[in-house]
């Protein structure tokens, strides 16, 4: 075991950093696009089902096929991997944002309007805080998906822990497979835990502010 870490320890750390970079970049892009778009869809409900269905259709594309489709456009490396993972992150965040905003009681919205709030003020001060648990659930789910799927990014030269996993598979070295799989699992669990803490930090204060 000591010999293994002496030989592959640096690789595990380096690949973990690459994996985290690819996953975090894709997830942040997903949040920046899907949350505002999900909010916007609540104002245009007639097209909401069409947009969500289209996003769902994109997620049915096999991950390897989507990565392959990115190569003619972006080449190989981290960029096509980030774009593909960004596409995969959209559905859970977009759907949960839309559902969370849609399920906010109209009583709160009416109170906000009665207080003289504009539509934008109502969204940021009332609706988004109330919808935060549902939105964060979507973001947490997307984070786990993205970290898991990022292992396939090694197929197009993006690096990450997938390099260790597939190297172990190709060379019949179970130790390398575990060296890639275990950190991926830890990263996914850690991301879910940290985002759960963010959810707890945001939600109670916002809800208390509205209820008061």
Supply the pLDDT for residue 2. 58
At residue 212 the predicted structure's pLDDT band, cuts being 50, 70 and 90, is: very low
Supply the pLDDT for residue 209. 46
Side-chain-side CA neighbours of residue 196 (13 Å): 8
At residue 184 the predicted structure's pLDDT band, cuts being 50, 70 and 90, is: very high
Instruction: Using the predicted structure, report yes or no on whether residue 211 has a pLDDT greater than 70.
Output: no
Supply the pLDDT for residue 154. 87
Distance CA 194, CA 181 (A): 20
As its CATH architecture, domain 2-211 has Orthogonal Bundle (1.10)
pTM of the predicted protein model: 0.88
The answer to whether 151 touches 160, Cβ cutoff 8 Å, is yes
Q: How far is CA 151 from the centre of its chain?
A: 15
User: Which residue's entry shows tokens 């179970």?
Assistant: 174
| pLDDT tens digits along 51-65 | 888 888 887 888 888
Domain spans, the chain: 2-211
**Backbone dihedral region of 142: left (phi > 0), alpha (psi from -120 to 50 degrees) or beta?**
alpha
Nearest in space to 202 (alpha carbons), one of 147, 102, 128, 152: 128
Distance CA 82, CA 149 (A): 11
Distance CA 165, CA 62 (A): 19
| pLDDT tens digits along 13-71 | 899 999 999 999 999 999 999 999 999 998 887 888 888 888 888 878 888 888 888 88
| pLDDT tens digits along 152-167 | 888 888 889 999 999 8
Task: Render 39-86 in DSSP notation, one character per residue.
Answer: HHHTT-HHHHHHHHHHHHHHHTS-HHHHHHHHHHHH-SSHHHHHHHHH
Instruction: Using the predicted structure, report yes or no on whether residue 86 has a pLDDT greater than 90.
Output: yes
- How many CB atoms within 10 Å of residue 103? 10
| pLDDT tens digits along 114-147 | 888 888 888 888 888 889 999 999 999 999 999 9
Distance CA 89, CA 37 (A): 13
- Computed over every residue of the chain, the mean pLDDT equals 87
Supply the pLDDT for residue 35. 95
Supply the pLDDT for residue 100. 92
The rounded percent of the chain whose pLDDT value lies above 70 is: 92
């Amino acid at each position: 075991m000591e010999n293994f870490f002496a030989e592959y320890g640096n690789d595990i750390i380096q690949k973990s950093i690459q994996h985290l970079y690819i996953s975090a970049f894709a997830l942040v892009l997903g949040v920046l696009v899907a949350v505002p778009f999900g909010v916007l869809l609540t104002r245009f409900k007639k097209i909401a089902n069409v947009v969500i269905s289209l996003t769902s259709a994109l997620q049915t594309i096999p991950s390897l096929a989507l990565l392959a489709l990115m190569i003619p456009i972006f080449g190989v490396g981290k960029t096509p991997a980030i774009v593909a993972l960004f596409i995969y992150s959209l559905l859970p965040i977009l759907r949960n944002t839309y559902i969370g905003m849609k399920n906010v009681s109209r009583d709160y919205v009416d109170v906000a309007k009665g207080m003289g709030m504009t539509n934008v003020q109502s969204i940021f001060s009332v609706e988004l805080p109330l919808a935060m648990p549902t939105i964060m659930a979507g973001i947490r789910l997307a984070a786990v998906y993205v970290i898991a799927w990022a292992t396939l990014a090694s197929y197009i030269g993006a690096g990450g822990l997938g390099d260790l996993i597939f190297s172990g598979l190709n060379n019949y070295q179970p130790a390398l497979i575990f060296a890639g799989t275990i950190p991926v699992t830890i990263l996914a669990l850690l991301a879910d835990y940290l985002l759960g803490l963010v959810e707890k930090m945001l939600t109670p204060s916002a809800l208390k502010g509205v209820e008061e």
